[in-house]
Amino acid sequence: MSSFDLRRLRLRSGEEHRVEVPVELEPLEFGGVRYVSVPEEAPAELRVIRASTGTVFELRFHSRLHGPCQRCLGDAVLERSVSAREYQATNPGNEDELRNPYLKDDLLDLTGWARDALVLALPHQILCRPDCAGLCPVCGKDLNLEPHEHEETEPDSRWSALAELRDRL
Ligand SMILES: [Zn+2]
Ligand SMILES: [Zn+2]
């Protein structure tokens, strides 16, 4: 897990610190399936800006996720540029919006923050390609490899036999 120790910084109001940090990107669950970042560790840019009433944090990184296409289950790759911002007031009181949830005892949890920011940047569905045809709802074959349609389903003889039996009972 990657974190950044803010005690390393001695920022005065109005000052800014910009640093390149490697961030470990954890596998994530999306739509019930697992996606992994390749590479697992991405270079990120972290900016810490000290204002008079608090501190602004900005994180930017690029991620490439690998996992199944949510239509055909083939391999899908999704590239995303992520940029996220958090704020921590010097005196947050009870206001949660004035707190950076990834900040604990001057340690900034970069892995947790990057994971949540990446999830927010994901599209509605992860697909192998925008026009993926998906799987046939009737026979389950991949419609990208074998485009086909089915005739209007005729009543299956086994079922009509059953229906006949039911009528006789
Ligand atoms: Zn697909
Ligand atoms: Zn089919």
Of the listed ligands, the closest to the CA of 133 is 1
Of the listed ligands, the closest to the CA of 136 is 2
Of the listed ligands, the closest to the CA of 67 is 1
What gap in Å lies between CA 144 and CA 150, rounded to an integer? 15
Q: What is the 3-state secondary structure (H, E, C) of 118-160?
A: HHHCCCCCCCCCCCCCCECCCCCCECCCCCCCCCCCCCCHHHH
128 Cα: distance to centroid of ligand 2 (angstroms) = 20
What is the reported pTM? 0.80
φ, ψ for residue 109, nearest 5 deg: -80, 95
What residues does the ion ligand 2 have nearby, CB within 5 Å? 136, 138-139
142 Cα: distance to centroid of ligand 2 (angstroms) = 8
60 Cα: distance to centroid of ligand 1 (angstroms) = 29
Of the listed ligands, the closest to the CA of 141 is 2
Provide the residue-wise pLDDT of the chain in tens; the chain has 169 residues: 899 999 888 888 899 999 999 999 999 999 899 999 999 999 999 999 999 899 999 999 999 999 999 999 999 999 999 999 999 998 888 888 899 999 998 899 999 999 999 999 999 999 999 999 999 999 999 999 999 999 876 666 666 666 666 777 6
